[in-house]
Amino acid sequence: MRGLLPPGGSPLDGTALAEAYRPPAGRWVRANFVHALDGAASVDGASAGLGSDGDKRVFDVLRAWADAVLVGHGTAAAEGYGPVDGDAGVVQLRRELGRPAGAPVVVVSRRASLAPGDRLAMPSTYLVTCGSSDADQRVALAAAGVHVLVCGDDDVDLPAALDALAAEGLEQVLCEGGPALFRSAVAAGVVDELCLTTAPLLAGGAPGVLGDRGLPEPAPVRLTQLLEEDGVLFARYALSR
């Protein structure tokens, strides 16, 4: 992998790649997506068909820097999410960076759809839901050890959820989607950075990183970094709050 912006072009080893994605100190919300040249964010309903070795390394680095991984319930179910400390490569990288071995997965679900017995229904998991979700379901999940955060009345209040996570020391949050959650986060003005991998292929037929709905108004972004490997582009964009 080599750097294109800032100029230089020198190869990046594992240490340099981790340093290239080091977040600023304090609260920081970044999102990570992979998409095709035509904007499709999935192939056959999953993002795996767009991935590459370089994309996996960036994915691992972003998880290594995160205090928590934020994901919508639908994406967690479709992609087979498990705990972060279940990935030995990420755990090793986190240790090399002086980070704790694991980071909680924070599942966002307006209906509290996570169920006791699910793969993520464990003490390391957070569930962010709203007051209109089933109270008995929330009690059952809390009894299973899940940290249940009720943020908002009829829908999830993402700014309040991020405040609640920060109050528990989870300031560096990595949003891994899906598109509906990312769109809501951008619309709420809580995203600081988008890390976007562009795969050199045309997929077609699938919504992009914001899904199939627009934003209330366009969100300006600024390109801050661009890397390349085997025709795959790895960009970092700063978003204005």
Among candidate residues 238, 237, 236, 234, the one with its CA nearest the CA of residue 57: 234
Distant-in-sequence, close-in-space partners of 160: CB < 8 Å, separation ≥ 6 = 151, 152
Among candidate residues 126, 119, 40, 121, the one with its CA nearest the CA of residue 78: 119
Return left, alpha or beta for 226; rule: phi > 0 is left, psi -120 to 50 is alpha, else beta.
beta
| Per-residue pLDDT at 151 | 98
| Per-residue pLDDT at 241 | 66
Distant-in-sequence, close-in-space partners of 93: CB < 8 Å, separation ≥ 6 = 14, 18, 60, 61, 64
| Per-residue pLDDT at 116 | 86
Contact predicate 141/112, CB 8 Å: yes
What parts of the chain have a pLDDT lower than 50?
none
Give start and end residues of each alpha helix (H) in 29-172. Answer: 53-65, 73-78, 88-96, 135-143, 158-167
Architecture field, domain 25-239 = 3-Layer(aba) Sandwich (3.40)
What are the structural domain ranges in the chain? 25-239
Q: Name residue, tokens 């199939």.
A: 212
Q: Name residue, tokens 């795996």.
A: 48
| Per-residue pLDDT at 46 | 79
